[in-house]
Structure 1
């Protein structure tokens, strides 16, 4: 029995940054994982932006476990899923924590008020993740058509492509 395959397209440099920006900003929320290779610690976090250099920005608390983990080891992994569009991106990178007021002002949203007492709360920090590499998968057809192709391949045992495209990302 065959298995559905996706065309493979690795991206690097500005093309990789553009793809990360497109997919991560559409998904908005990721599992943010610290302590890679030991006792991994993952929490959901909301993305503020992917900038032109490929840095991913988050608002966080200086009192959080993941901020402490980043101070011990900056290696992180981010897992974004946009199930409604069958789009996924996995990113490995290095994180830094900052209390820079200009960055806090830039990335502050009303949504952050749920965790802080305003942007002047002394525990507010921003986390920047410098993407290094990763992997993506996205449908290139509309969701219904892509699902139909996958079902057809599963039922018939054909090895038709599954309506998606995937590949490595190297920033």
Structure 2
């Protein structure tokens, strides 16, 4: 007996960007992974925005380990999850670090005051991640309906589609 699987729906271009924007901004925080394939470094980071071009923006310190890792290797992986809605998105792409004052002004928030001495702190950088590809999973139905389907399958032994849709993202 085969295992039920969510319908596959790969997305590319603008549709992929819209999916990333919706799922990543809803989650708000991700594991930001640098130094991939070596001694990977992962840290939770708050997303500031996914812009219309699909670039994901973060505030960071130039003294951080991940900023230092990006000097040698621009490849990053981002893992967003919103367990409350059973929505997940994985992004792989290249990061650029900037000290552009206009970007800092745009993305700095009072939340960052926990790490910096205001938006004029010389350690502040903005990291932009341009995604290459990724993978997503989101519920088609609401969370309660998705849970009910899974409980029904567990109780009856029936294989049922779990109320979600998943697929690759090619930006």
Q: Place the TM-score, normalised by the shorter chain, in its bin.
A: over 0.9
Aligned to 2:131: 131
Aligned to 1:44: 44
TM-score (norm: length of structure 2): 0.97
Per-residue deviation, residues 78-104 of structure 1 (Å, max 9, x unmatched): 000001111000000000100000000
Inter-partner Cα distance in structure 2 for 1:160 and 1:2: 10
Question: More displaced, 92-101 or 144-153?
Answer: 144-153
Aligned to 1:68: 68
Unaligned 5+ residue runs, structure 1? none
Give the secondary structure class of the aligned counterpart of 1:42.
Answer: strand
State the Cα distance separating 1:2 from its structure 2 match: 4.3
State the Cα distance separating 1:151 from its structure 2 match: 1.8
> Does residue 30 in structure 1 map to residue 30 in structure 2?
yes
RMSD of aligned Cα (Å): 0.9
> Does residue 59 in structure 1 map to residue 59 in structure 2?
yes
Aligned to 2:95: 95
Inter-partner Cα distance in structure 2 for 1:10 and 1:152: 28
Give the secondary structure class of the aligned counterpart of 1:63.
Answer: coil
8 Å Cα contact 1:75-1:92 kept in structure 2: yes
Aligned pairs for 1:78-117 (under 5 A) are 78-117=78-117
Unaligned 5+ residue runs, structure 2? none
State the Cα distance separating 1:130 from its structure 2 match: 0.3
State the Cα distance separating 1:156 from its structure 2 match: 2.5
Inter-partner Cα distance in structure 2 for 1:139 and 1:4: 15
Inter-partner Cα distance in structure 2 for 1:47 and 1:63: 19
Question: More displaced, 151-160 or 124-133?
Answer: 151-160
Aligned to 1:146: 146
> Moved runs in structure 1, 4+ residues, more than 6 A?
none
State the Cα distance separating 1:152 from its structure 2 match: 1.6
Inter-partner Cα distance in structure 2 for 1:95 and 1:119: 21
State the Cα distance separating 1:153 from its structure 2 match: 1.9
Inter-partner Cα distance in structure 1 for 2:4 and 2:88: 17
TM-score (norm: length of structure 1): 0.97
Aligned length: 171
